[in-house]
Amino acid sequence: LPVIRAQSSPDYVPDAKFYKVEAILRPWRIPKVASALLKMGIRGVTVSDVRGFGAQGGLTERHAGSEFSEDKFVTKVKMEIVVSKDQVESVIDKIIREGRTGEIGDGKIFLVPVTDVIRVRTGERGEKAERMMGGRADMINF
Ligand code: ATP
Ligand code: GLN
């Protein structure tokens, strides 16, 4: 499979210190994606089982004029990863690399600006709350 990269690194609008990378992916690709993220020091990840409807149409069979019915939704996994701005592109590239099969239904990534991060245990906010024990920030010794 040829290597695909996210096309160019944009000036994110609106600008934020943190972004949520929200990826809808094939469930069976999640272990690959998760271990690759872990290797790059991403420790904070939330995963949910979801069902969705995309270009894949939810099925192989098509009925003209049929309504959206529940049985058309395909099982996917939603991964949500909040990272500092400078980590966004490498996380996106990793997800594409490990999540892609090249077939319809590989999923989609949404990038959402995050205004603050608050650690419930300590009340810390911002960078202090976003940094994870054993995370990349730890590895490169901020
Ligand atoms: P503490 O040091 O108090 O344990 P923590 O920052 O390690 O705080 P947890 O309380 O362990 O955070 O996190 C609880 C849940 O929050 C995790 O299981 C995960 O689902 C989610 N989570 C934490 N950080 C992130 C992140 N950066 N992105 C996405 N989800 C996160
Ligand atoms: N940026 C954090 C760190 O380097 C990691 C963020 C995350 O794991 N989602 O510690």
Whether the CB of 23 sits within 6 Å of ligand 2:
no
Average pLDDT, the chain: 89
CB atoms inside a 10 Å sphere around CB 18: 20
Q: Average the pLDDT over 120-141 and give the result.
A: 89
Cis, peptide link before residue 113, omega less than 30° from 0 = no
Average pLDDT for residues 113-120, to the nearest whole number? Answer: 98
Please state the atom number of ligand 1 nearest to the C-alpha of residue 20. 28
According to the model, what pLDDT value does residue 142 have? 44
What is the residue type of 97?
R
* Residue of 33, 40, 49, 119 to test ligand 1 pocket, by largest number of atoms within 8 Å of CB: 119
> What are the residues whose beta carbons fall under 8 Å from the beta carbon of 126, sequence distance 6 or more?
17, 116, 117
Q: Are 108 and 54 in contact (CB under 8 A)?
A: yes
Question: Which residues are registered as beta bridge partners of 78?
Answer: 24, 48
Q: What are phi and psi of 40, to 5 degrees?
A: -90, 10
